[in-house]
Chain A
Amino acid sequence: MKKTQRNAEPDAAWKQPAPGHVRVYVWEWPIRFSHWVMVITIISLSITGYYMHAPYVAARGRTAYVMGTMRFVHLVSGFAFLGAILIRMYWFLFANRWSRWNQYIPTTKKRFGNLIAVGKYYGFMAWSPVRYIGHNPMACAAYAVVYAMAIVEILTGFALYSQVLGSKTLNFFVGWIPHLIDIQWIREIHFLIMFGFWMFFIHHIYTAILVSIEEENGLMDSIFSGYKFISEEELLKDPAVEELQESGERATTVQEKNTHTTV
């Protein structure tokens, strides 16, 4: 079998951007790592979690251990998901400007205005999307909801696990939850939020393909490699930077551009 080899040298041909474009390192490794761990664990958690709600596989043979296996995979995936969320939460504070926490909550009027502008594009009230190097404000708002759902899933999941485990340490962290809300409702919330993840999953893949086609900047590749191909003009007028400023003053200097550019 012929093996395809990719030239990994720093000046490999495929890394060379088109004229007038730069190759920008947008998504740092903690972002990509936590992203893919979340993808894998959400899939495995959904498959096993749905089984735990309504067992859909008939057990065969005398040595079957279907539910036991499902629960084991669910627990391992749950801890991996927690790890990925913690990495991402930590990185909210130290990420580059496209993945920092203030991207995910519209803190300024400008960013909120752009959120509406993106909404108009999805509502077929605008011809083209607002171009962003990182996330657009509406995507970020959706991710904020997803992270909120993830935190609720983790809390409810560990509250349920604490009941099974009977550990005092775990009970210290989540023991207050069953005092506020009955264990059955904790299950219900834990179950219903799974569908929230499914809805996001469908929407997320659709918009990733859509924006990748619309903007033609290597968006789909960027979640694997971290790099996007951005025109120099666009890099100088990054909406993520402009939105955070009081006036329309331009902050991105050529110097700053270079710090974010790797060719």
Chain B
Amino acid sequence: MKALPEFELRSALEARGISRRQFVKFCSTMVATLALPPRYLGAVVKALDQTTRPVLVWLEFQDCAGNSESMLRSGHPSVGDFVLELLSWEYHELIMAGAGKRAEDTLERVLREHKGEYIAVIEGAIPTADDGVYCTIGGKSALDIARRVCSNAAINIAVGACAWDGGLVRSNPNPTGAVGLQEAVPGIKNLVNLGGCPHNPANTAAVLVHYLTFHELPALDHYNRPLFAYGNIIHDQCERRAHYDAGRYVEEWGDEGHRKGWCLYKVGCKGPEATYNCPTVRWNEGTSWPVKAGHGCIACASPRFWDTKSPFYDRLPKVPGFGVDVKAEEIGWVATAAVGAAMVAQVAGNIVRDKIRAKHMPVEENKSSGSSEHPEA
């Protein structure tokens, strides 16, 4: 990887007021996030000390910049600070000083000078309907930019639900034909998906640190998501789990159970369905996460979660073809009651038939013949 000459990590961090001690603490946080044994701390510190500051480009397509915000506002001394110093961020629409042609020239320069060396981070979905006219930057469609940038990158990191699988932009009815990066650019190499709405910056930093230390990607699941972050069910790591097993549930918002911190299962928490390391890594320097704050999980790191995990305040999805207020259990109870009523009607009908049978029954049907439709020869 091509080094930028002016870089020296230790002095750069000190210039930002980050001490050596804070740097080592950051490294140990990353080791813990990656679920590596503590003995890897030395390797990580050494690798980051010697890093040659690889180039990073951050592309934004159909997004709300929430993942950028999540990265930048992650506390002090923040994960963002470290990552900004570890890597040379050449292009990031939200934070770069340049604009217009100058900014686009920067991206072209990276593609030219650092081909196959830079790290590409993608945020936001990519529209495919009508030749991708719904998202264009500098006259080029998002699809074209993604194809060019991602096929020449050393690694691609799709941050957030939109870049992974289309997210909110792709949710039904998806007028722009939006898809995630791996669908828009099939066969993309060295791709890491970091779903979540937004992504957790600790995980993104951990993936970068893993890459800078070991020069390879962490172990991935079948969605190309790192197993250290997406390998465990939220429910199994939840601090309210004991209330779930005991059978103590929040019945409605603000009731006694809610004030006591009971399980949010009955108000639609999707923790049992979702995988993420939200409960352990948490947000805002490990302060809290949604379920701790008293709101159910909406499974934002699960595939197509806007469509598949809604309604967020009910346990099960709505059955298609019925009204929006009709729950699955109501359909089941009504159908069961209808069968019960039909059986009662059958009983009444059979009593009547039994009473009048002797009068009306044809003689040949009275026999215990095997088949009335096909009489025996």
Contacts and interface: CB of A to CB of B under 8 A. Distances in A.
Q: Indicate whether A and B interact.
A: yes
Interface of A: 53-55, 57-59, 64-68, 70, 110, 113-114, 116-117, 122, 124, 126-128, 130-132, 163-164, 179, 182-185, 187-188, 191-192, 194-195, 198-199, 202-203, 206, 210, 231, 233-234, 237-239, 242-243, 248, 250
Contacts of A210: 346, 350
Nearest to B232: A166
A126 B365 contact: yes
Interface in B321-377: 328-329, 331-333, 335-336, 339-340, 343, 346-347, 349-350, 353, 357, 360-362, 365-366, 368-374, 376-377
Max count, chain A CB within 10 A of own CB: residue among B340, B365, B368? B368
Contacts of A67: 244-247
B245 A194 contact: no
B316 A126 contact: no
B249 interface: yes
Contacts of B317: 184-185, 188
Contact of B315 (A54, A206, A248): A54
A192 B353 CA distance: 35
Contact of B371 (A130, A182, A185, A187): A130
Nearest to A240: B370
A56 to B, nearest CB: 10
A55 B246 contact: no
B251 to A, nearest CB: 9
A114 B246 CA distance: 53
A54 to B, nearest CB: 7
B331 A192 contact: yes
Contacts of A58: 247
A54 B302 CA distance: 23
B274 to A, nearest CB: 9
Nearest to A132: B370
Contact of B370 (A116, A131, A203): A131
B376 A237 contact: yes
Nearest to B299: A184
Given A192-B319, A203-B343, A184 B373 contact: no
A68 B245 contact: yes
Contacts of B270: 184
A79 to B, nearest CB: 20
Nearest to A59: B247
B373 A113 contact: yes
28 contacts: A53-B329, A54-B266, A55-B266, A58-B247, A67-B245, A68-B245, A113-B374, A114-B373, A114-B374, A117-B371, A126-B365, A127-B353, A131-B368, A163-B233, A163-B273, A164-B233, A183-B308, A188-B319, A191-B316, A191-B332, A194-B332, A195-B332, A202-B336, A202-B340, A202-B343, A203-B343, A206-B347, A210-B350
Nearest to B340: A202
B265 interface: yes
A9 to B, nearest CB: 30
B247 A57 contact: yes
A199 B365 contact: no
A131 B366 CA distance: 11
Contacts of A237: 369-370, 376
B373 A116 contact: yes
A67 to B, nearest CB: 5
A127 B368 CA distance: 12
List 7 A-B pairs, minimum CB-CB distance, nearest first. A66-B247, A59-B247, A195-B332, A239-B370, A182-B308, A68-B245, A199-B339
Contacts of B329: 53-54, 191
Nearest to A194: B332
B361 A187 contact: no
Given A195-B335, A203-B339, A117 B373 contact: yes
Contacts of B249: 55
B304 A182 contact: yes
A23 to B, nearest CB: 17
A263 to B, nearest CB: 20
Max count, chain B CB within 10 A of own CB: residue among A57, A70, A195, A250? A195
Contacts of B248: 59, 64
A199 B329 CA distance: 14
Nearest to B356: A127
B174 to A, nearest CB: 16
B107 to A, nearest CB: 36
A54 B245 CA distance: 14
B370 A192 contact: no
B328 A192 contact: yes
Contacts of A53: 315-316, 329
Nearest to A66: B247
Contacts of B53: none
A58 B266 CA distance: 12
